[in-house]
Amino acid sequence: MPASSELPPQYDPSAVEARLYRTWLERGAFAPTAGPGREPYVIVIPPPNVTGVLHMGHGLNNTIQDVLIRFERARGRETLWLPGTDHAGIATQNVVERLIAKEGKTRFDLGREAFVERVWAFVRDTGNTILEQLKQIGASCDWTRTRFTLDPAYTRAVREVFVRLWEEQLIYRGHRVIHWCPRCLTALSDEEAEFHETSGNLYYIRYPLADGSGHITVATTRPETLLGDTAIVVHPEDPRGAPFIGKRVKLPITGIEIPVLADEAVDKEFGTGFVKVTPAHDANDFEIGLRHGLAMPLIMRENGTMGDDDGRADRRSGGRDGATTDGPTDRPTARVPKDLVGVDRFEARKKIVKQLEAVGLLAKVESHQHAVRRCYRCDSIVEPRLSDQWFVKMKPLAEPVLAAYRAGEITIVPERWNATFLNWMENIRDWNISRQLWWGHRIPVFTCTKCKHEWADREDKTTCPKCGGPVEQDPDVLDTWFSSWLWPFATLGWPDETADLRRYYPGHTLVTAPEILFFWVARMLMAGFHFMGRKPFTTVYLTGTVRDAQHRRMSKSLGNGIDPLDVVRLYGADALRWTLIASGSLGADVILDHNDLETTFATGRNFANKLWNIARFLLPHLPTEAIPIEAVHPKTLTLADRWMLSRTEGAIAEATGALEQFRLDEAAKRCFELAWGELADWYVETVKPRLAAGDVGARAASAVLLHSWDTALRLLHPIVPFITEELWQRLPGRRAGELLITASWPAPDRRRIDPRVEAEFGAVQQAITAIRNIRAEYRVSPKLKLAAAIRAAGPAARGVFESERETIVRLAQLESVTSDGAALQGAHAVLSDGSEVVVALTGAIDLGQECRRLSDELSRLDKQLEALAAKLANEQFISRAPADVVARERQKEQAWRTQRDALAGKLAALGCG
Ligand SMILES: [Zn+2]
Ligand SMILES: [Zn+2]
């Protein structure tokens, strides 16, 4: 017989988790297992940034993936959870730039090659950190298939995709206003330039008319851009504009003359109705500029300082340092006055406002709430800037996704994200894919310096295929999402027709944070349809956000984060996983208190301890050999046995259904109820004497125990894999080396689900609970045994109470229970089937004192009720008080009356007289 002494008295996760993870790895338990009838189930991990460290968001998102993978693995699917990391161009480059800044250097000091080598060194050093951390929380990824978005094979896929899109003429060079980060010195996509509500100023500036007949006032939030204005526009139907259209105004400060034009794009409601046009520094103004053939001077450099710029900074020599490219200041078109050249944009704004004020051209300043775009990587305010960039035409890529989505082939859960997704896809804009960075996939566009031939190539080229002249490669790199949008197939060996690609594409579920729905998910869908002809996955599961007790997003800057590895160290990975899964429904935010880890993770830790303790009790009582439940003669099964079996089979069906529908928290709660509530609190307590008897009844009971406990461990495994594996291996009948991780998911035997049995045993539980509640309410000493009676609602109920008399007496701490309570005075309770429980309290409590206490309470309540009734009868109160206040008072009256009736009932039952 396996002895409980095998299990130490306390559960110590640190003694178990690392060992079991090693076992799983060594036994290849994470690799997909092919076999007849095994359908694949594939999840590709959202590749974390290669410089990343695990935070709670990863913890949540990866635990969900692991639960789904372990569930499907147990169900016999050929599961693949494919891991890897993203080179994360801009983020990683920033990290290394900060590192070398500590040495007083910039990337330009190192030069492109040395800088990129430096980044590689950093990545080789630290790039595995986050994957190692994922192992600590139990992630069962197939690590043999780990990918990195800059691997040579992956690079080949990126090149292939770029060249194909080029050949299909879906990639083009655009000269237009893009979002520019003056800190990162790169263009950003629309999604990377995030909106933030900001309180700023709206400056009203007077532009004198060239003929001296007055002035036009315009409003702007960015006065420094007036240096680049090339027109004033007004709506053609705005009567305020008519007298001025066709006239010219002088730019304040520089005196350069610009025309006043009519344009329908002007918002008549904004400011004065007149709008300044800075085509090189505003996307809308750029469109206006195109319509009217306006000049488009750049008046700011790439680093955010003021200065005339021809927009052709020499990228090839790496000389993008704004400080060294003053631009030809002697050009006739120079627009930036000498005293502002080299001045930072925000400093320049102050100076210009001061100068305007001095010459009386600042009409007024209003404070103004508006949305400002900031760089998603460094938080700098993004500067709109006219620039040459590569774009992908997105409409043709979006169409097949939209069609499939509308046909219901792709599902996003939870439901609420669907409208956002659809709106974005329907209004999709072209994607700026070039970044002025060094770390990433270099754009494979080559230009002949001799004949100017320009083409995209799968191979690096040094000579022109047309004239043999020397060639130069585009210096920019691709947006990091231009590689990660290929993740579901590039990781499987595409463009080669590999066995993995055939087997594991398309995948099934994608689990990720909603923040990257557009960055990544939508684009993966587009790439999947375009390059593979099929969707990359069927369901997109968007997780909630992890927040602190004040519901603020956890962040480094707020210092309110919780390190998941701290939780693993303190309470174990299972406690972490349990809390993350059980505390939030599908897509709901998860609230964790960073100031109180103890309480926050208590449920998970206590549950692990409880499972441990259940095992310690059960192991000595389990049969030495596995007895299949089918082998137990039905005649030897008691009501409690049949109830336990019914609840167990019900739990299988419910947990399975919940997991299939991604309601992970419901699965967790049902399994918790099975193990702790039904098995430990009720069934074990009920069968203790039978187990001790050691006869045929004991054999039946221990078979039921084994079956239910085995089932509970299997069902709980996806959520708390470590403790369940540890305990499951100690069950009788395990073959050497058998692992729970690869054991089969239980199938419910629905013949055992018996509502009548559940109702009958349910009535017994209710009676016991009612008596326990009465004991607690009257503070009866736990040692004291009471007399009770149960008046059954009918003959069937009477039969059940009679046959379960022993259980009721023992679990409710009774001396006796009779079926006729007429003679008993005491507390009573009515069960849901109408049966009534009476508990004698004479001798158990000081009846006189209890009567006094209750009648005092009754008279206090009577007084309160009287006052409230008077208030509610008062016409003035009723007519003057707000309706909701009156309604609340009426509700209060109702509640007090109910309380009063209960008290009166108690007094009568106790015979207080
Ligand atoms: Zn930035
Ligand atoms: Zn050539």
Sheet holding 471-473, edge to edge: 454-456, 445-448, 471-473
Kindly list the distances between the CA atom of residue 716 and the CA atoms of 85, 590, 665, 719, 731, in Å, as whole numbers in the listed order.
29, 20, 12, 6, 15
Residue 326 has pLDDT above 50, yes or no: no
For Cα atoms 781, 783, 785, give the angle at the middle one, nearest 5 degrees.
Answer: 95
Residue 175 has pLDDT above 90, yes or no: no
| Distance from Cα 126 to the centre of ligand 2, integer Å | 43
- Distance CA(828)–CA(198), nearest Å, equals 64
The number of the ligand nearest the C-alpha atom of 448 reads 2
Residues around ligand 2, an ion, CB closer than 5 A? 448, 450-451, 453, 464, 466-467, 469
**Shortest-distance ligand to the CA of residue 378:** 1
Average pLDDT, stretch 235-259?
91
Q: How many CB atoms lie within 10 A of CB 180?
A: 25
Q: How far is the CA of 172 from the centre of ligand 2 (A)?
A: 20
Ligand nearest to the CA of 93: 1
On whether the CB atoms of residues 747 and 95 are closer than 8 A, the answer is: no
Gap between the Cα atoms of 913 and 911, Å rounded: 5
Cβ atoms within 10 A of the Cβ of 694, count?
Answer: 10
- What is the distance in A from the centroid of ligand 2 to the CA of 311? 25
Ligand nearest to the CA of 186: 1
Q: If you average pLDDT over residues 885-903, what whole number do you get?
A: 90
Ligand 2 centre to CA of 461 (Å) is 12
Residue 640: predicted pLDDT: 96
Asked whether residue 403 carries a pLDDT value surpassing 50, the answer given is yes
- pLDDT value for 6: 72
Query: How close is the Cα of 472 to the center of ligand 2, in Å?
Result: 11
Ligand nearest to the CA of 472: 2
The mean pLDDT of 703-729, rounded to a whole number, is 96
- R_g of the chain computed on alpha carbons: 37
Residue 378 has pLDDT above 90, yes or no: no
C-alpha 435 – ligand 2 centre gap (Å): 26
Compute the average pLDDT of residues 871-879: 88
Sign of torsion, CA 81 82 85 90? negative
Provide the pLDDT confidence category of residue 563 given band limits of 50, 70 and 90. very high
CA atoms within 13 A on the CB side of 672: 20
Measured in Å, residue 367 CA sits from the centre of ligand 1 at: 26
How far is the centre of ligand 1, averaged over its atoms, from the C-alpha of 193 (Å)? 9
Say how many Å lie between the CA of residue 223 and the centre of ligand 1. 22
Contacts of residue 418, defined as CB under 8 A and 6 or more positions apart, other chains included, come to 412
Q: How close is the Cα of 476 to the center of ligand 2, in Å?
A: 21
Q: What are phi and psi of 495, to 5 degrees?
A: -85, 0
Beta bridge partners of 434: 478
Kindly give, in sequence order, each residue whose CB lies less than 8 Å from that of residue 861, ignoring residues fewer than 6 positions away.
896, 899, 900, 903
The arithmetic mean of pLDDT across residues 726-744, rounded, is 92
Distance 182 CA to ligand 1 centre (A): 7
Of all ligands present, the nearest one to the C-alpha of 90 is: 1
Cα angle for residues 836, 838, 842 (degrees, 5° grid): 170
Q: In the prediction, which pLDDT does 671 show? A: 97
Report which bound ligand comes closest to the CA of 187: 1
Could you tell me the distance, in angstroms and rounded to a whole number, from the CA of residue 474 to the centre of ligand 2?
A: 15
The Å distance, Cα 502 to ligand 1 centre, comes to 40
> How many angstroms is it from 185 CA to the middle of ligand 1?
7
Query: What's residue 821's pLDDT?
Result: 59
Model confidence at 250: pLDDT above 90: yes
Over range 147-174, report the average pLDDT.
96
Q: Does position 509 have pLDDT exceeding 80, yes or no? A: yes
Residue 375 C-alpha to ligand 1 middle, in angstroms? Answer: 5
Alpha-carbon span 653 to 666, nearest angstrom: 12
Q: If you measure from the C-alpha of residue 881 to the centroid of ligand 1, how many angstroms do you get, rounded to a whole number? A: 56
Q: What is the pLDDT of residue 349?
A: 94
CA 183 to ligand 1 centroid distance, Å: 5
d(CA 730, CA 7): 9
795's CB contacts (< 8 A; 6+ apart) are none
Q: Residues near 142 by Cβ (< 8 Å), separated by ≥ 6?
A: 30, 31, 32, 80, 81, 82, 83
* Ligand 1 geometric centre to CA of 132 (Å): 29
DSSP 268-308: TTSTTSEEEE-TTS-HHHHHHHHHHT----EEE-TTSBEEE
Residue holding tokens 């008279």?
Answer: 859
Pick the ligand that lies closest to the CA of residue 184.
1
Distance 450 CA to ligand 2 centre (A): 5
Q: Report which bound ligand comes closest to the CA of 381.
A: 1
* 189 vs 153, more confident: 153
Reported as a pLDDT band with limits 50, 70 and 90, residue 840 is confident
Mean pLDDT value across residues 502-523? 93
* Among the bound ligands, the one closest to the CA of 181: 1
User: Ligand 2 mean position to 445 CA, how many Å?
Assistant: 13
Whether pLDDT at 906 is above 90: no
Is residue 327 scored above 60 in pLDDT? no
Q: Report pLDDT for 333.
A: 60
Average pLDDT, integer, range 682-702: 89
Distance 106 CA to ligand 2 centre (A): 35
pLDDT of residue 809: 94
Instruction: Return all residues near 369 (Cβ < 8 A) that are at least 6 apart.
Output: 197, 198, 199, 200
Span from the CA of 379 to the centroid of ligand 1 (angstroms): 6
Are 683 and 705 in contact by the 8 Å Cβ rule? The answer is: yes
What is the SS3 assignment for 547?
strand
Q: How far is the CA of 376 from the centre of ligand 1 (A)?
A: 7
Query: Ligand 2 centre and the CA of 447: distance in Å?
Result: 8
Q: Which neighbouring-strand residues pair with 80?
A: 42
69-73, 197-201, 646-650: the lowest-pLDDT one: 197-201
Q: How far is the CA of 180 from the centre of ligand 1 (A)?
A: 8
The tens digit of pLDDT for each residue in 47-93 reads: 999 988 899 999 999 999 999 999 999 999 999 999 999 998 888 98
Pinpoint the alpha helices (H) of 27-88: 56-74
Q: How confident is the model at residue 5 (pLDDT cuts 50, 70, 90)?
A: very low
CA of 382 to the centre of ligand 1 (A): 8
Cα of 443 vs centre of ligand 2, distance in Å, is: 19
Give residue 862's pLDDT.
92
Ligand nearest to the CA of 452: 2
Ligand nearest to the CA of 437: 1
Please report which ligand is nearest the Cα atom of 192: 1
- Could you give the CA distance from residue 417 to residue 133 in angstroms, rounded to a whole number? 30
Q: What are the angstrom distances between the C-alpha of 869 and each of 36, 736, 877?
A: 76, 75, 12
In terms of pLDDT, which residue wins out, 18 or 782?
18
Ligand nearest to the CA of residue 468, numbered in listed order: 2
Highest average pLDDT, of 139-153, 593-607, 614-628, comes from: 139-153
Cβ–Cβ under 8 Å, residues 139 and 131: no
pLDDT, residue 321, reads 38
What's the 270 CA to ligand 1 centre distance in angstroms?
30
Q: How far is the CA of 471 from the centre of ligand 2 (A)?
A: 8
Q: Which ligand is nearest to the CA of 193?
A: 1
Query: 823: pLDDT confidence band, cut at 50, 70 and 90?
Result: low
DSSP state of 793: S
Q: Note the ligand closest to the C-alpha atom of 453.
A: 2
Ligand 2 centroid distance, CA of 453 (Å): 5
CA 505–ligand 1 middle distance (angstroms) = 35
What is the 194 CA–ligand 1 centroid distance (Å)? 11
Phi/psi for 608 (5° steps) reads: -60, -45
- Which one of the ligands is nearest to 461 CA? 2
- Copy the structure tokens of residue 787: 């007399």
As a whole-number percent, the residues of the chain with pLDDT over 90 amount to 64
For residue 820, the model assigns a pLDDT of 72
pLDDT (average), residues 220-240 = 92
- What letter does residue 440 receive in the DSSP assignment? S
* Ligand located closest to 470 CA: 2
State yes or no: pLDDT of 399 exceeds 70: yes
Distance between Cα 43 and ligand 2 center (Å): 46
Q: Which ligand is nearest to the CA of 463?
A: 2
Angle at alpha carbon of residue 10, lines to 810 and 59, rounded to 5°: 110
Cα-to-centroid distance, 363 and ligand 2 (Å): 57
Between the CA of 160 and the centroid of ligand 1 the distance, in Å, is: 29
Tell how far the Cα of 436 is from the centroid of ligand 1, in angstroms: 11
Q: What global pTM score does this model have?
A: 0.84
Ligand 2 centroid from CA 116, angstroms? 29
The ligand that comes nearest to the alpha carbon of residue 446 is 2
Min mean pLDDT across 219-228, 363-372, 529-538, 620-629 is at: 620-629
- Phi-psi sector, 290: left (phi>0), alpha (psi -120 to 50), beta: alpha
Helix, strand, coil content of the chain in percent (nearest 5)? 45, 20, 35
Note the ligand closest to the C-alpha atom of 471: 2
